[in-house]
Structure 1
């Protein structure tokens, strides 16, 4: 008999019992669903698979006594392909949670599948604010960024600094149109106006006609509401057309470290951008990013990769705390618990699925300012979480009504 039997009783009340834990199947299975070979593979792709596996390893490889498995698949940036994979994973392969999911149209389709089946989905690379707005789900969280935060960060700052007329070159899918709409609002609130816009198909290689329309508009700022290789090709084209040399400013609403690396500092220097993570931000981000880089041939992580790691870590912690992988109980626990890890030391998950986290407005360095590999950004200002997020009072999400 223990000298202090009440200690054992207290411990058993405070911690879930592994013996009494409820795990569906023989393990906890995570599915990384993203672009493995197309225009978003650098910012997501295998890097997200690596980040998910790092989170599992750092958690100890097991949760509630069960092993944790990471699988992945390529959705080819097509909503029908993404929803088909998600359906198969949830219904036939016992996948407990899907993570990453770039391309907002794919993410919205996967969100719908997950909602119908009451399964968890953790978005790290989908940006439409509809995911936590009119299309919100009690089982979905938007971890890394959304169009509201990016619009507030970049559009507001550039407009305040004198860029009070804008022309948008916008990707013709859910994220692009949501980004343009959100940016238009914050441009207007800061005394600016949108003088025109043009839509382009995903995967465009020749931006000549779109850039000519932007030049003809005489707008002070040409805004790019796209991502991945679309953004890279647009910026390269803008450089060839002399957009900035002629006096117009270029503002990329969503751009990643991998994009800057592909473009080079000669082309991208001076760009303002908003991100939720940068590898060289502090000691914690540097330590984790060095480990990531060792596995990825020296490549530093994007904010998407960091978001995958943070989301998987929090999800596994929630399973541990809930004593089950039941989606409803785990989702509730994810909102109840504070987010805390080596990448994201303080955040919370709101009722609408929005992760409240700080953002950072950066400026891309010139070649002379960069002192080491991937030394690309200088911090302009930190944007507090409450400032970056859409207020719940303005949310169209049915969960908060």
Structure 2
């Protein structure tokens, strides 16, 4: 006859087995605080700033536009090459060349119905990215309080993001090893290199809507969970040719602080609202971010594809670089639950992996990533992510297989 004290031990083991066998809800999401009214994009009044765009003409030349109206699927705009501008992608340079007063006059003439500033319609899928041609940018992490809480971050941090911007109607490549996640952000460019805070203050600033895609599998494996600012994981997880979708409207506000603070940005996943915030919710504004970046110009701790990098080169944010705001709450990623951690430890012991050179931490992380891949919670092929804003237009991105010809899906997004 077995001793009575075996019974509670057996019961505890059975209970533990039952608890560990309970999977996580594949439909679980991070909570968000959303505004009551749906977001409607409208043109920023000329009294508050200029709105510009960029297209290619019939000869494939880059053509700057002055935007005079924003609709659901198209904008109205004046072709500025008909009014003295060159064929260029440098929209801040166009403003400098033509002058804000002259551009305001063109806009006013259009509103009066005059012929000199006739506006024409341009579909969103005709618009080019206004981010410029830079291949390296300055990204910001956990710069919104609620997102910092949902990712358990203790601080705002920066890292270099590699890869050029894609246009406002685009695709992002997926493969089956990815945990593909979305982020909506505000982005800023300057009419000069920024090496001091005085140069930031003096610079003409352009603001546009942007997105940031992340492979959370890569980040989970590489991140230093005790020090997000260590430079490990973020550049590898957030860089690449498809991971920087950028808007087609550039606003040059007269009061950039007011504009950024009031601008509302949202993310829609297959039509469902998943992020909703205003720029005023940033922990560090763009000026404070600039100060932080310039103060961190010499460290080579930032890793990307096995090499060490500085956050910025030559002690400056280059004119061809973008400064990113960070994202609000509502991303797909959620840190491992205690059950996921416990299951990973259990498997590590039972499988005998502890007898190999694989560390317990590495095994548990891989177990977590495997569970998340199996859950299908992260972005999958044919899904559509739409980033929207109050005055900066819309970005529409369709998820496609990495080796897939994206033309058909891109056409459907349009």
Higher relative contact order (CA 8 A, sep 6+): 2
Q: Of the two, which has the highest radius of gyration?
A: 2
Q: Normalising by structure 2, report the TM-score.
A: 0.23
Q: Normalising by structure 1, report the TM-score.
A: 0.24
Structure with bigger strand share is 2
